[in-house]
C-alpha cells in the first residue's frame, strides 16, 4: 500500500476524524488540515499540492482595494498586477519598436510612427488576466480545495477569522496555517502622493492612456514600467533617489539606466519628490529636489514639471498588522514587517508557516513562492524532508534591454570571497538583428555580458552570470541549470561549450577577456 494512498484512506476514515502530523482535528464543518491565507501563486501552489496529497484544504483570498480603488480576482500580484500584465505590455512595446525596425528590413510601413490604441491593449491584457482568474477557480474546484473570498486574520495558532465582502465573519479551524499574502506597494509620505499618485496596482487598469508620466523609484518595478511606457510612445520621466536596482549587480544596473536614457526615458538622477498637487485641468504638478543641492533648478536643486500621471514605485511591504500576528506571537522583522521563518518556512509559532514575498529574507519572485509552497505541502503531507534551496535563483528584469542574472553580483561576490579572489570575464557585443536599423545605433554599446568567478587553482568557478540583451530571460534560464551542477560550474565548462551561431547567447560561451587584463572588452561577430 503506497504512502499517498494510505494517507488518503486515513483522511476518509475514523468517523470523520483526521490525524495529521500527530494532531487530531475533525474533518467536518469548517475544520481543515491546511488553511492558506492568500490566493497568490505561492498560496495556490501550496494548497493544490496539499490537496493532491489527500489533505483537506481551504484557501482564503481577499484583495483590499488600492488607495485609488483598484482590485482584482484570484491569482495574486503576479497574475493580476505584476509579472503577467508587465510582460504583456513590455512585449507590446517591443512589437512597436519591431514595426519601426522593419522598415530597415524592407517592410513598407505607412505610419511614420505606429500609434498605440491604449483601450485595445488594456482590453487584451485584462481579458487574458480574467481567463487566468477563472482558471485558478476551476483548478481549486477540481482539486476539492475550498475557496473563501474572505480576509483572514489569526485568532490563535489554529483558528482564523474570515471576513467576507458582506461583512460576515466566520471562524475556520486548521491544523496547519500558511501565510502567503505577499506584499503591496508603499506610498511615499509626501504631500499629495496618496491622493493623486498611482502604483503598479493601478497602472494595468487605467481606463485612459497614462499620457505624460513620471515614475518615482528605480526598483525593478519602476524601471520596467518606465521602460515599457516609453516604448509604448508615452513621454516618460524617471526619478532615481540614489542607486538603481539596489541589490542587483551595479555594473549592469548603470548600463540599464544609460540604455533607457538612449531609449527615450528622461532620467533625473539623485532626485526625490517633494509634493504633488492636482491642477484645475486634472494634470499633476510635481516638485522634486536634487539630493545634491549644488545642482541648478528653480532654487538650489528644486525642480518642477507637470504630468498627466505619477506612478510611485518606491518599494513594497507586507500588511502584517492585518493578519493579527501579534495576537499569536508570530514574530516579524522590525524594519520590513516581514514574517521571520526558519529553513522549513515555519514561523516562530509551531504549525504556522509563511512563504513567498511576505517571508523575511526570501527572494520576491513568483517561481520561488510556487516551489516553496509545493515543497512545504510535501513536507507536511507527503513525508518529504526536502527544504527549499534559495541559492542560485535566476531572474530577469524586463527593461527595454532585458537583464537576466543568476548567482552573485560582483558586489556580493567581493563581500563573500574578497576582491583579490574574484575574476570577471566580460564582453560588450552587438546583437546581429539590431545592427541593421540606423535608429538602434546608439543603443548597441550597452549590450554586455559577464561571469563573476572565484579563482580556484587552474580554473575559475563561476558564481554569477549576468546578461544584458534581447531575450535575457530565455538565455539565463539555461545557464541557471548549469549553475546548479554538483560541485559548481567551472569557467572552463562554459568556454569549452560550442555556441549556437548566430545568437546572442553564444556570446556567453565565447567569453575570454578578463577585467584584470585591462583589455578592451568590445567583441565583434564573425
Q: What whole-number distance in Å separates Cα of residue 160 and Cα of residue 169?
A: 10
- Cell numbers given for 232: 509604448
Identify the residue whose cell numbers are 528584469: 397
Q: Is 90 a catalytic residue?
A: no
**The dihedral of CA 367, 370, 376, 378: what is its sign?**
negative
E-only strand ranges, 419-519: 422-428, 448-456, 459-468, 489-490
Burial of 292 (0-12, 13-18, 19+ CB in 10 A): exposed
SS3 label, residue 505:
coil
**Residue 76: closest CA among 210, 184, 159, 223:** 184
* From 128, 268, 430, 501, the catalytic residue: 501
Q: Alpha carbon of 412 to those of 43, 293, 418, 463, 494: distances in Å?
A: 30, 31, 9, 10, 22
E-only strand ranges, 49-140: 57-60
For residues 154 and 323, the answer to whether their CB atoms sit within 8 Å is yes
Q: What whole-number distance in Å separates Cα of residue 266 and Cα of residue 286?
A: 15
Identify the residue whose cell numbers are 554599446: 445
| Residues known to be catalytic | 501
Amino acid at each position: 500500500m503506497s504512502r499517498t494512498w494510505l494517507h488518503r484512506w486515513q483522511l476518509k476514515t475514523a468517523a470523520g476524524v483526521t490525524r495529521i502530523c500527530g494532531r487530531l482535528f475533525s474533518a467536518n464543518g469548517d475544520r481543515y488540515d491546511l488553511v492558506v491565507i492568500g490566493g497568490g501563486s505561492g498560496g495556490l501552489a501550496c494548497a493544490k499540492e496539499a490537496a493532491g496529497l489527500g489533505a483537506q484544504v481551504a484557501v482564503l483570498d481577499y484583495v483590499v482595494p488600492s488607495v485609488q480603488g483598484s482590485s482584482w480576482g484570484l491569482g495574486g500580484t503576479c497574475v493580476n498586477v505584476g509579472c503577467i500584465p508587465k510582460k504583456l505590455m513590455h512585449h507590446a512595446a517591443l512589437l512597436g519598436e519591431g514595426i519601426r525596425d522593419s522598415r530597415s528590413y524592407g517592410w513598407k510601413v505607412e505610419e511614420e510612427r505606429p500609434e498605440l490604441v491604449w483601450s485595445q491593449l488594456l482590453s487584451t491584457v485584462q481579458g487574458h488576466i480574467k481567463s487566468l482568474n477563472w482558471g485558478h477557480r476551476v483548478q481549486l474546484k477540481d482539486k476539492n480545495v475550498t475557496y473563501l473570498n474572505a480576509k483572514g486574520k489569526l485568532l490563535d495558532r489554529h483558528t482564523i477569522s474570515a471576513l467576507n465582502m458582506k461583512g460576515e465573519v466566520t471562524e475556520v479551524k486548521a491544523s496547519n496555517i500558511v501565510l502567503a499574502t505577499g506584499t503591496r506597494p508603499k506610498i511615499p509620505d509626501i504631500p499629495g502622493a496618496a491622493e493623486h499618485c498611482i502604483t503598479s496596482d493601478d497602472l494595468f487598469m487605467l481606463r485612459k492612456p497614462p499620457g505624460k508620466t513620471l515614475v518615482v523609484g528605480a526598483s525593478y518595478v519602476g524601471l520596467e514600467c518606465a521602460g515599457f511606457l516609453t516604448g509604448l510612445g508615452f513621454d516618460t520621466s524617471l526619478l532615481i533617489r540614489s542607486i538603481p536596482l539596489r541589490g542587483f549587480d551595479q555594473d549592469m544596473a548603470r548600463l540599464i539606466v544609460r540604455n533607457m536614457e538612449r531609449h527615450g526615458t528622461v532620467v533625473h538622477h539623485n532626485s526625490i519628490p517633494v509634493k504633488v498637487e492636482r491642477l484645475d485641468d486634472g494634470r499633476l504638478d510635481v516638485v522634486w529636489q536634487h539630493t545634491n543641492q549644488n545642482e541648478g533648478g528653480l532654487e538650489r536643486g528644486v525642480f518642477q514639471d507637470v504630468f498627466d500621471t505619477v506612478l510611485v514605485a518606491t518599494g513594497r511591504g507586507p500588511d502584517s498588522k492585518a493578519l493579527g500576528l501579534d495576537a499569536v506571537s508570530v514574530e516579524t522583522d522590525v524594519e520590513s514587517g516581514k514574517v521571520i521563518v526558519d529553513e522549513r518556512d515555519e514561523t516562530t509559532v509551531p504549525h504556522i508557516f509563511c512563504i513567498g514575498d511576505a517571508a523575511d529574507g526570501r527572494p520576491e519572485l513568483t517561481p520561488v513562492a510556487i516551489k516553496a509552497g509545493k515543497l512545504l505541502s510535501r513536507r507536511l503531507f507527503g513525508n518529504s524532508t526536502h527544504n527549499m534551496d534559495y541559492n542560485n535563483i535566476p531572474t530577469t528584469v524586463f527593461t527595454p534591454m532585458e537583464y537576466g542574472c543568476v548567482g552573485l553580483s560582483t558586489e556580493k561576490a567581493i563581500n563573500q570571497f574578497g576582491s583579490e579572489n574574484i575574476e570577471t570575464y566580460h564582453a560588450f557585443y552587438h546583437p546581429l538583428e539590431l545592427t541593421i536599423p540606423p535608429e538602434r545605433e546608439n543603443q548597441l554599446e550597452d549590450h554586455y555580458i559577464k561571469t563573476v568567478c572565484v579563482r580556484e587553482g587552474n580554473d575559475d568557478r563561476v558564481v554569477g552570470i549576468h546578461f544584458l540583451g534581447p531575450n535575457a530571460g530565455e538565455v539565463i534560464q539555461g545557464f541557471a541549470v548549469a549553475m546548479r551542477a554538483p560541485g559548481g560550474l567551472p569557467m572552463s565548462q562554459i568556454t569549452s561549450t560550442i555556441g549556437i551561431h548566430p545568437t546572442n547567447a553564444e556570446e556567453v560561451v565565447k567569453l575570454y577577456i578578463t577585467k584584470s587584463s585591462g583589455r578592451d572588452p568590445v567583441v565583434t561577430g564573425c
